[in-house]
Each structure stands twice: as structure tokens, then as C-alpha cells.
Amino acid sequence: MGGWVDAVAGGPDARTVALALALLAAVSHAVFGSLQKGRHDPWLSRGAIDVCYAAMAAPVALLVVPWPVGGQWAILAGAAAIHVGYKLAQAKAYSRGAFTVVYPVVRGTGPLVTVLAAGVVFGERYSGVQWLGVAMLSGGILALSAVNVRGVGIGRPRLLAALGWALVTGVFVAAYTTYDAWGIRRTPDAFTFLAWFFLVDGLVFPWIAAARWLRMADPPALAALLARGVAGGLVAYVSFGSIMLATRIDKVGQAAVLRETSVVFAALIGWAVLGEGVGALRAALVVLIAAGAIVMEFGGG
């Protein structure tokens, strides 16, 4: 199944295809973030999403794609471990702070660390202009979080805890992006990695969520959680699958930066669909973020 991916990776359209996949990941990730932070407890939302995408991945992993062999099992185990750490940190951040504050910090930290890691792991090199683009994008995203803090009525200790966990989550984003890009490149069939990743990754967090649900005095209905889980699982396939294929086809750092334009798409969705006010300062920061992504993508010549 993965032959066409490798054919694209070695062809003249690799950069264009990777760009399209990274932007698709950005749009879908904006939707995914809002699903996890919606009206349900973020721990429960994450557990529901994981159990649903594991169940949907099982028949594909078991019956369609080639099974992992040898060291590929260890690669999948390592990916699952990193993602569990990411989900724990993210749930802690979302439990303490508003989505509009936490999400930009996570997404602003991730690309900067990923580009640095990609230089070490994959030997990727970027021009000074491209580094300026990374700084524009990450700086704009972090500044957007700072602007959003003004409208959040929580105490300073809780806010600092939320921001601290958001930074930790951003580092985990960089870690899993780099590791998973390495893993999918080490697996002969890209879709073997993706299908088995979703199956293995979905086996841990649902137990954590179930224990939390059982301790609640008034837990939400399972039907509502499962509905959220199915929607989130389908979006996760698009979001994670797109960015992973992009990192196999072209540079990891560039794909990671473009994915973080999800902040831009989140703002556009909020304005166009939900009728949320943006304001001049937020609009300027959204333009800065988008400009940073463009500079990063095309600043290398």
C-alpha cells in the first residue's frame, strides 16, 4: 500500500504533496483540538477518542496491511510510550487552563523544538530566512496565547500550572513528531506504521479515562462520549496520518511548522462558523503566523 508514497517521495512533486498534506493536517488538527477540549472532561474525551480509533484501526492492521516484523514492534512501543506522556501532559494542561490559552502555547513550542531535533536526527538544514519564518510563526502563536490570557478569569497559580503543562506538552509534540517521522521512515510500508500505531496507541489511555469516569459522582453518558470518540477518531486519522506521510515524503521540520498553522485555521473557523470576535491584535498575530509559515516553506529557495 505504501509504494505510491515512496514513489512520490522520490519524485519532482514531493514538496508540493508534502505541503498539501501538512496543511490538511493543520485544518484537521484545529478541529481535533476543539473536540478534546469541548464540553466533556478532557481525560474522558481523550479516552473515548483512543478507544474508537483503536477499534477502527484493528481490522486494517490485522487484515489489510503487512504486519510489523522484528524491530518494528519496538518502534511502535516507543511511539506509544511517547504519546501516552503527551496525552497525560495535554490533559493536565487542558484541565487547568482555557483552550484559547493552552492550545497556542502547545502549538507554538512544538515547531521550534521539532526543527532543532530534525537537524540532529535527520541532518536537515535551513537558511537564516527560514529560521526567521520559524521565529515569526512560534512567536506569533505564543503572543496569541498571551493576548488570550487577558480574558481568562483564573488565579495566577492555576494559570502558571496550565502554562507549565502546556510547555511540557509542546516538548512532547516535538518528541513524537521527530520520533514518529523516524519510525515511519524505518517501516517499509508507511500504512503498516499508521494502522498499527493507531491500534497500539489506543490501548492505554482508555483505561486511565475509565478509572476517572468510575470515580466521578455524576459521570457523562457513555453514548455522548462514544459519539465524540468516533468523530475525534476519524479526524485523528486525517490529522496524524497526513503529517506522518508528509514527514516521510519531505522534510520533517517544514511539515511540523506548516502543521502549526492549525492556530490560523482555528481562528478562521471561530470567526466564520462560530461567530467569535477576532479583534485587530489577534488578526495581526494570525497574519504573522501565516506569514511565518510561508517564509519557512519558501525561504530556502
pLDDT score for 34: 64
> Taking the model in full, what pTM does it have?
0.89
The domain of 207 spans 12-298
286 vs 2, residue with greater confidence? 286
Dihedrals φ, ψ of 163, to 5°? -65, -40
pLDDT score for 33: 66
Q: What percent of the chain has pLDDT over 70?
A: 92
**For residues 229-249, average pLDDT:** 93
pLDDT digits (tens, 9 = 90+) for 140-197: 988 888 887 776 666 677 778 888 999 999 999 999 999 999 999 999 999 999 999 9
User: Is 49 domain-assigned?
Assistant: yes
Question: Quick one: cell of 231?
Answer: 468523530
User: Is 5 domain-assigned?
Assistant: no
**For residues 3-18, average pLDDT:** 83
Q: Residue 36 is inside which H or E element, if any?
A: helix 14-36
Q: What percent of the chain has pLDDT over 90?
A: 53
User: Is 4 domain-assigned?
Assistant: no
DSSP 80-148: HHHHHHHHHHHHHHHHHS-HHHHHHHHHHHHHHHHHHHHHHHS-----HHHHHHHHHHHHHHHHHHHHH
pLDDT digits (tens, 9 = 90+) for 29-39: 887 766 655 56
pLDDT score for 286: 85
**For residues 94-116, average pLDDT:** 82
Work out the number of other CB atoms within 10 angstroms of the CB of residue 68.
Answer: 21
Question: Quick one: cell of 239?
Answer: 490529522
pLDDT score for 35: 65
User: Is 88 domain-assigned?
Assistant: yes
Q: CB-based contacts of 178: which residues, under 8 Å, 6+ apart?
A: 114, 117, 118, 121, 252
**For residues 280-301, average pLDDT:** 86
User: Is 242 domain-assigned?
Assistant: yes
User: Is 2 domain-assigned?
Assistant: no
As a whole number of angstroms, the distance between CA 11 and CA 217 comes to 57
Of the candidate ranges 37-46, 48-57, 71-80, the one whose mean pLDDT is the lowest: 37-46
Domain count along the chain: 1
